[in-house]
């Protein structure tokens, strides 16, 4: 069986990569995503079909990308499609429907208390299998089977050394800056700390930092593993990458009122992670030196022997 795994780069793609071994098993895999440093690094050595990188809710672009998705399904003899979104899932839905290819949509783990705009479209398609990643979010239209946060736990660190390295990341993809977090991190990090600044679309040209818009996944993961502390926006990809590197991150949710995102889903995710001890959550202008010490006194662990899931 050949499965097409469909996700836009960023947190959606990282989620599907983590879930792929559990939901696709021993299938032959083909990926459909956009071409970014993250996707090239994360999917190195895989069979990948690319669509253009598009801004959120670019539905005209979504329709144009159906041709790319359809060509991928035909060329690779796809037997089923699994997607974690976002709007790229809609590009794959039409060609899959025309070819009667089974389609499974897994709502992003970012959606703790509600359904995304893409998910609401999927609700209207009776033959789409729909899953949420939280047991409390099930409904007559949505089932629960698996979550990217399965297996994560935290444990105390016996000894905490000096703070030498930090990672500050607001995500490497997207069209919304997060200057408040950059400013907050600059204020709280001690002078002399070797800091990697992944600033995405945030304008930092007036600051004396060496910001990079986006790093390949391998480079970012290496920096996260070497860091003593991680400060980031409350995106699913950032949280997962930090946890996978053994770090309990300090997360700041983006704000709609400050023009930092299209909705408030990062608040829901950060609250969920904080409740389970998987992150320390602070507003950007409320970061303190004590927060840095608290985050460093915990490490994240992950159980790798999770069972496959039949969707």
Is 192 a domain residue?
yes
- Claim to verify: residue 77 and residue 45 sit in the same structural domain: yes
- Claim to verify: residue 140 and residue 184 sit in the same structural domain: no
The mean of the pLDDT values for the chain is 93
Task: State the pLDDT at residue 265.
Answer: 82
| Rounded Cα distance, 116 and 108, in Å | 8
Give percent of the chain with pLDDT exceeding 70. Answer: 99
Q: Indicate the number of domains in the chain.
A: 2
Burial 246-274 (b: 16+ CB within 10 A, else e): bbbbbbbbbbeeeebbeeebbbbbbbbbe
- The domain boundary, picked from 101, 119, 144, lies at 144
Burial (Cβ within 10 Å: 0-12, 13-18, ≥19) of residue 122: buried
Does the pLDDT value for residue 205 go beyond 70? yes
| Rounded Cα distance, 275 and 279, in Å | 8
Give percent of the chain with pLDDT exceeding 90. Answer: 80
Which band of pLDDT confidence, cut at 50, 70 and 90, is reported for residue 217? confident
- Claim to verify: residue 171 and residue 255 sit in the same structural domain: yes
The mean pLDDT of 126-137, rounded to a whole number, is 95
Task: State the pLDDT at residue 285.
Answer: 94
Task: State the pLDDT at residue 32.
Answer: 98
Of the listed ranges 14-28, 97-111, 125-139, 253-267, the least confidently predicted one is: 253-267
The mean pLDDT of 208-219, rounded to a whole number, is 91
Give the DSSP H/E element, type plus range, for residue 25: none
- Claim to verify: residue 138 and residue 180 sit in the same structural domain: no
Is 238 a domain residue?
yes
CB distance 193 to 166 below 8 Å = yes
Is 311 a domain residue?
no
- Claim to verify: residue 93 and residue 161 sit in the same structural domain: no
The mean pLDDT of 51-78, rounded to a whole number, is 92
| Rounded Cα distance, 15 and 12, in Å | 5
- Claim to verify: residue 189 and residue 104 sit in the same structural domain: no
Task: State the pLDDT at residue 55.
Answer: 80
pLDDT tens-digit series, residues 76-131: 999 999 999 999 999 999 999 999 999 999 999 989 988 999 999 999 999 999 99
- Tell me the CA distances in angstroms from 192 to 210, 265, 296, one per residue in order: 14, 34, 18
- Claim to verify: residue 129 and residue 162 sit in the same structural domain: no
Task: State the pLDDT at residue 247.
Answer: 97
Task: State the pLDDT at residue 31.
Answer: 98
- Claim to verify: residue 96 and residue 184 sit in the same structural domain: no
- Of residues 250, 304, 249, 257, the one with CA closest to residue 282: 250
pLDDT tens-digit series, residues 146-190: 999 999 999 999 888 899 999 999 987 677 899 999 999 999 999
Is 308 a domain residue?
no
Is 217 a domain residue?
yes
Is 123 a domain residue?
yes
Q: How far is CA 135 from the centre of its chain?
A: 20
The mean pLDDT of 50-57, rounded to a whole number, is 87
Does the pLDDT value for residue 209 go beyond 90? yes
Is 307 a domain residue?
no
Does the pLDDT value for residue 56 go beyond 90? no
Is 310 a domain residue?
no
- The domain boundary, picked from 109, 144, 179, lies at 144
Give the DSSP H/E element, type plus range, for residue 163: none
| Rounded Cα distance, 204 and 182, in Å | 8
The mean pLDDT of 268-289, rounded to a whole number, is 95
Which band of pLDDT confidence, cut at 50, 70 and 90, is reported for residue 253? very high
Task: State the pLDDT at residue 173.
Answer: 65
**Which spans in 99-196 are helix H?**
117-122, 179-188
Phi, psi of 225, rounded to the nearest 5 degrees: -65, -35
Domain range for 180 is: 153-302
- Claim to verify: residue 279 and residue 138 sit in the same structural domain: no
Q: Give SS3 for 298.
A: strand
- Claim to verify: residue 184 and residue 294 sit in the same structural domain: yes
Which band of pLDDT confidence, cut at 50, 70 and 90, is reported for residue 143? very high
- Claim to verify: residue 297 and residue 162 sit in the same structural domain: yes
CB distance 38 to 214 below 8 Å = yes
CATH code assigned at 40:
3.40.50.2000
- Close Cβ partners of 81 (under 8 Å, ≥ 6 residues apart): 3, 4, 5, 6, 73, 92, 96, 101, 102, 103, 104
Task: State the pLDDT at residue 16.
Answer: 97
- Claim to verify: residue 167 and residue 296 sit in the same structural domain: yes
The mean pLDDT of 258-277, rounded to a whole number, is 88
Task: State the pLDDT at residue 306.
Answer: 85
- The domain boundary, picked from 144, 175, 209, lies at 144
The mean pLDDT of 189-193, rounded to a whole number, is 95
């Amino acid at each position: 069986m050949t499965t097409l795994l469909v996700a836009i780069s960023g947190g959606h793609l990282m989620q599907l990569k983590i879930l792929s071994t559990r939901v696709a098993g021993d299938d032959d895999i083909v990926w459909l995503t956009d071409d970014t440093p993250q996707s090239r690094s994360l999917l190195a050595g895989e069979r990948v079909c690319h669509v253009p990188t598009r801004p959120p809710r670019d539905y005209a672009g979504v329709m144009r990308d159906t041709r790319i998705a359809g060509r991928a399904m035909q060329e690779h003899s796809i037997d089923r499609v699994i997607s974690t979104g976002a709007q790229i899932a809609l590009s794959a839905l039409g060609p899959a429907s025309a070819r009667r290819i089974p389609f499974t949509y897994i709502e992003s783990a970012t959606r703790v208390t509600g359904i995304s705009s893409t998910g609401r479209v999927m609700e209207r398609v009776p033959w789409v299998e729909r899953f949420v990643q939280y047991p409390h979010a099930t409904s007559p239209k949505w089932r629960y089977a698996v979550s990217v946060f399965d297996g994560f736990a935290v444990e105390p660190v016996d000894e905490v050394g000096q703070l030498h390295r930090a990672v500050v990341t607001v995500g490497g993809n997207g069209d919304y800056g997060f200057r408040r977090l950059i400013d907050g991190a600059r204020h709280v990090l001690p002078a002399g700390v070797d800091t990697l600044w992944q600033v995405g679309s945030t304008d930092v040209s007036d600051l004396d930092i060496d910001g990079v818009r986006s790093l390949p996944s391998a480079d970012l993961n290496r920096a996260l593993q070497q860091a003593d502390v991680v400060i980031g926006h409350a995106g699913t990809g950032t949280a997962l990458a930090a946890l996978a590197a053994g770090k309990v991150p300090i997360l700041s949710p983006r704000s709609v009122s400050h023009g930092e995102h299209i909705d408030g889903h990062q608040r829901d995710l950060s609250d969920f992670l904080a409740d389970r001890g998987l992150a320390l959550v602070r507003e950007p202008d409320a970061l303190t030196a004590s927060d840095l010490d608290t985050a460093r006194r915990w490490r994240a662990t992950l159980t790798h022997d999770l069972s496959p899931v039949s969707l």
